[in-house]
Amino acid sequence: MARNLTSGAVTVDDLPPVTVAFIRRQGTTRGLDRDPLAEVTHGLRVDEETMNRQRVGPRSQRHTTELLLTPELLIISYRQGSDDAPHVDPAARVGFHRLDQLEVAVPAAGLQKRAPGAAPAAGVVAVTSTPLGGTRRTTRHVASGIGPEVTRFWDALQTAVARTRPA
C-alpha cells in the first residue's frame, strides 16, 4: 500500500461550501451559540491518499482532515472523497474540542513508525479531550504531515491551549 500525505495552511474561505455548511450545522447540533467558523485564527488541511494494488488494478482513497483553531476551540473535520462532491460524505465527522480540556501529545509508540524519530508535528499527533456533545474523554490520532505551516499550526495550538490554563 502506497501512502501520500500533503498538508498546508487553510482558511475558512478555502473550505468547500458543503464542508462549511456541515461544520456550521454540527456546531448548532452540539449546542454552540454562535458560528464556530467566525473566529478561526489558524487552519491546517491534511490530504492523505492511499493506493492499494489489487488484482484488478490500483485503487486509491482520499481522506481530508481540516484542523481549525479559534480562541476557544479546536475544530477537527474529517471526510473522504473529492472537494467537488455536491453533498457531504456520509462518513464525514466533525469534532469541537474546548481548548481548556485539550491535551496534545507525542503519538503512541505504535504510531511513531509512520514518522520515525520525528517531533510531534512531523507525522501523527495525539489529541485528547471530551468533544462537545460527547460523554467521555477520547484520544484521536491526527495525521499532520511535515513542513513550516504544520509547525506554525501546532505552535499556535500549544500557545492557545496554554492561554486557557490557570497560571
Here the CATH number for the domain that contains residue 83 is 2.30.29
Q: Are 112 and 43 in contact (CB under 8 A)?
A: no
pLDDT confidence of residue 54 = 66
Which tens digits make up the pLDDT trace of 86-103? 677 778 899 999 999 998
User: Grid coordinates standing for 13?
Assistant: 474561505
Q: Into how many domains does the chain fold? A: 1
What's the average model confidence in pLDDT over 99-124?
60
Interior/surface letters 40-62, b for 16+ CB within 10 angstroms, e for the rest: bebbbbbbbeeeeeeeeeeeeee
What are the backbone dihedrals phi and psi of residue 140, each rounded to the nearest 5 degrees, phi first?
Answer: -120, 130
Cα 97 to Cα 103: distance, rounded to the nearest angstrom? 10
Range of the domain at 90: 2-164
Which tens digits make up the pLDDT trace of 27-69? 999 999 999 999 999 999 998 887 776 666 557 778 899 999 9
pLDDT of 157 higher than 50? yes
pLDDT confidence of residue 28 = 94
Q: Are 148 and 114 in contact (CB under 8 A)?
A: no
Cα 101 to Cα 117: distance, rounded to the nearest angstrom? 28
